[in-house]
Amino acid sequence: MEVIHRSHLARVCNAEIAGVAVSAPFIVTNGDGSMSMAVDGHKRVFNFGHRAVRQDSKVLPPLAARRKGSFADHGDGIISLRLPLPEDATVPEKTEIVIVDNGFELRRDPAELARSISRIRVMCGDRPLLLVSGIADPSNMALLAYMGVDAFDDSLAWTMASRGVLMRPEGRISSQAPVEELVKANLGFMSEELELIRTFIAKDRLRELVDQRATSSPANVVALRIFDKQCWDATETRTPVIGGRFACNTPQSLQRPDVVRHRRRMSDRYRAPDHKRILVLLPCSARKPYFTSRSHRRFIEAIRSGDHFGLVHELILTSPLGLVPRELETFYPCAHYDIPVSGEWTMEEVDMISGMLKGYVTDNGYDHVVSHIGDGGLLTGDVEVIDTSMGDPGSDPALRLLDETLRRLSKPYDKVPAMTDRANTMRSMLRYQFGPEGEAVLEGATVVGKYPYWKIMEDKTQLGMHTPDRGMTSLTLDGAARLIDADLNVVSIENFQLKGNIFAIGVKDADPRVRVGDEVAVEREGKLAAVGVAQMSGAEMKTMDRGIAVKVRHKSK
């Protein structure tokens, strides 16, 4: 199986099942053919090439009836299971597809649907395709794909047509049309939705489609909420640390795994530069990164008008991310989100931002907090602030007041050398990118250049460079050697001559902390072999046997 495109847990991939080549995600259609489902009375059979896999003969009691699940190996890499998932269930190494026989029983239990699919996906690992039978319709196919389902059957489209129900992506509608017309329409909508899902996966924007579709039914909303809240750990491992622009147009986008990861990293990883004594709170801007916007250029000019700016730390307050320090504005997702700006905050946003801010100020121990956000203290909560916004942060009087206030507050402090300012700020950036161990990259080194183009130098040797295009710090071979010393983001490969990118088949081991887009050091026989960017998560590198694992930037001679 080879992944062509991915978006969170969803992927477009090429695979082979019982000798039949498929491109997932795909629909197993009712009828004849090498990849089909046959229904005869109460009998259901999935056909994969020459292999016929018989399913349950009738609808059994729902999962709440507390019965045992089952697990069957049909050969040719085909596994079927009946929920609830047996605790000791494992899949053979060469499994190609896992079929959930009784997925239709979950249609009235969306919370258990989310939990069950997550458990099965974790149990299966990355290699096998996952088919959940009897539950897919145009309104939930995107959500199922997002959860990790690779294949659907169209049995529900036929069943609902026989009951006079038209199934659209926007929801189900009662209809008086003939059954034959409803079947054709339902199957057509499923086919169209599948192509749309594949397109959104290829653009790594599936979550946006999921957010739109989830509102089509209460069940979809519940399933997405449970999946976001209770299955976050499993989802985050397959969520890249890089990406393109994305929209946050619904309340549920506050719980996107990449957005939640940022908020968690702000709490668990990030620490403000320890020489910063004055915190300035700023509003976000529509244009990203913030420093490219007209409003933030004016903020920066006012804040950095004197030699006191080394004492001042800029923090942008925004939804859905909460807090974005100035030095993180080029990272994903800080430079990539779009939100509808109405000038009003929901209570959920207020609680999220004010709660984060209170903990952030306490953890980082600033002497003064200046608010230049202009919301009348709505987002500052219990934090004691000096308000300089005058109700209009971008106005000339407010900017003059901000400048005067910062000059006054800075007078008791010594000037911070530019070298110290850059080094400590880069240390905070490395902590966010790699975790606390990432500070090892900076040990004994200096930081030179003009923000946001900073280089990490050890004497005349470059260890890494931060650029807005990359959005994070890219390492040289010398910088990657420090990752190996810290046992951080290391990918070990077999003993072969490295000529280009590294494929999964050649990976012996990989740090489970690695996410798609991370900087990684490649080790061969205990020595540095290369540095590059992960194209798979660390866990995926160890289980896949096809596809690029690491895109190599530099290799050792």
In a domain, 318, yes or no: yes
CATH number at residue 359: 3.40.50.10630
Could you write out the DSSP letters of every residue in 346-379? Answer: -HHHHHHHHHHHHHHHHHHT-SEEEE-S-STTTT
Same domain, 232 and 252: no
Q: Decide if 552 contacts 530 (C-beta within 8 A).
A: yes
* Same domain, residue pair 75 and 194: yes
Number of structural domains found in the chain: 3
Q: How many CB atoms lie within 10 A of CB 197?
A: 25
Neighbouring C-beta atoms of residue 365, cutoff 10 Å: 11
Residue where the block lists tokens 């020595």: 527
8 A C-beta contact, residue 228 and residue 114: no
Neighbour tally for 491: CB within 10 Å:
28
Alpha-carbon span 246 to 203, nearest angstrom: 10
Examine the domain organization and report whether 273 and 356 are in the same domain: yes
**Which pLDDT does position 31 carry in this prediction?**
83
Give the span between the Cα atoms of 526 and 529, in whole angstroms.
9
Residue type present at position 289: P
Eight-state DSSP code of residue 438:
G
Q: DSSP characters for 184-245?
A: HHHHHHHHHHHHHHHHHHHTT-HHHHHHHHHTT-HHHHHHHHHHHHHSHHHHHTTS-S----
Question: What does each C-alpha distance from 414 to 232, 402, 409, 410 come to in angstroms?
Answer: 45, 20, 12, 8
268 and 250 inside one domain: yes
Shared domain for 291 and 393, answered yes or no, is yes
Angle at the Cα of 298 from the Cα atoms of 295 and 302, rounded to 5 degrees: 140
Residues 315, 395 within the same domain: yes
Picking from 354, 323, 376, 332, the residue whose alpha carbon sits closest to that of residue 313 is: 323
Tell me the CA distances in angstroms from 39 to 58, 80, 105, 162, 458, one per residue in order.
Answer: 11, 17, 18, 14, 69
End residue of a domain, out of 236, 264, 293: 236
3-state secondary structure of 282: strand
Which element (helix H / strand E) includes 52?
strand 51-54
Q: Are residues 295 and 168 in the same domain?
A: no
Asked if residue 437 is part of any domain, the answer here is no
Provide the CATH number for the domain around residue 542: 2.30.130.10
Tens-binned pLDDT, residue by residue, of the chain (557 aa): 889 999 989 999 999 998 899 999 999 998 888 888 887 766 788 888 888 888 765 555 556 556 678 888 898 899 998 888 877 788 888 899 999 988 888 888 999 999 999 999 999 888 899 999 999 999 999 999 999 999 999 999 999 999 999 999 999 999 999 999 999 999 999 999 999 999 999 999 999 999 999 999 999 999 999 999 999 999 999 999 999 899 998 889 999 999 999 999 999 999 999 999 999 999 999 999 999 999 999 999 999 988 888 999 999 999 999 999 999 999 999 999 998 877 778 889 899 999 999 999 999 999 999 999 987 677 777 889 999 999 899 999 999 999 999 999 999 999 999 999 999 999 999 999 999 999 999 999 999 999 889 999 999 999 999 999 889 999 999 999 999 999 999 999 999 999 899 999 999 999 999 999 999 999 999 999 999 999 999 999 998 888 999 999 999 98
- Give the amino acid at 237: T
- Claim to verify: residue 205 and residue 272 sit in the same structural domain: no
Nearest-angstrom CA–CA distance, 278 and 502:
46
Q: Are residues 182 and 211 in the same domain?
A: yes
In the block, which residue shows the tokens 């801010």? Answer: 357
Structural domain range at position 498: 456-555
Tokens of 542: 């160890």
Most distant CA atoms of the chain, gap in Å: 86
Backbone angles phi, psi at 69, to 5 degrees: -85, 175
Residue 421 lies in a domain: no
* Within a domain: 446: no
Instruction: Express each pLDDT in 78-132 by its tens digit.
Output: 999 888 887 778 888 889 999 998 888 888 899 999 999 999 999 988 889 999 9
CATH number of the domain at 28, please: 3.20.20.105
Task: Give the span between the Cα atoms of 557 and 477, in whole angstroms.
Answer: 11
User: Do 149 and 222 lie in a common domain?
Assistant: yes
Number of Cβ within a 10 Å radius of residue 65: 8
Q: Are strands 548-555 and 502-503 parallel, antiparallel or unpaired?
A: antiparallel
Domain boundary among 208, 236, 264: 236
Long-range residue pairs from 414-417, CB within 8 A, at least 24 positions apart, any chain: 415/307, 415/308, 415/310, 416/275, 416/310, 416/311, 417/310
User: Do the domain assignments include residue 534?
Assistant: yes
Angle between helices 218-230 and 206-214 (to 10 degrees): 130
Q: In 231-344, which residue ranges form alpha helices assigned H by DSSP?
A: 232-236, 257-268, 294-303
Among 218, 232, 230, CA closest to 110? 218
Query: Would you say residue 415 lies in a domain?
Result: no
Residues 6+ apart with CB under 8 A from 230: 114, 115, 118
- pLDDT tens digits for 275-324? 999 999 999 999 999 999 999 999 999 999 888 889 999 999 999 999 99
Which residue, 392, 410, 428, sits at the end of a domain?
Answer: 410
Residues 221 and 285 in one domain: no
Strand partners, 11: 6
Nearest to 113 by CA among 86, 141, 135, 142: 135
Cα four-point dihedral sign 382, 385, 391, 392: negative
- Whether 502 and 544 have beta carbons less than 8 Å apart is answered as no
Q: What is the pTM of this model?
A: 0.92
CB 393 within 8 A of CB 374: yes
- 71 located within any domain: yes
Q: Give the integer Cα–Cα distance in Å for 96 and 28.
A: 15
Decide: 313 and 278 in contact? Cβ < 8 Å.
yes
In a domain, 311, yes or no: yes
3-class DSSP assignment, residue 153:
strand
In this structure, the answer to whether residues 250 and 140 fall within a common structural domain is no
Q: Which two tokens stand for residue 443?
A: 């040990």
DSSP annotation of 382 reads: T
Residue 69 pLDDT: 80
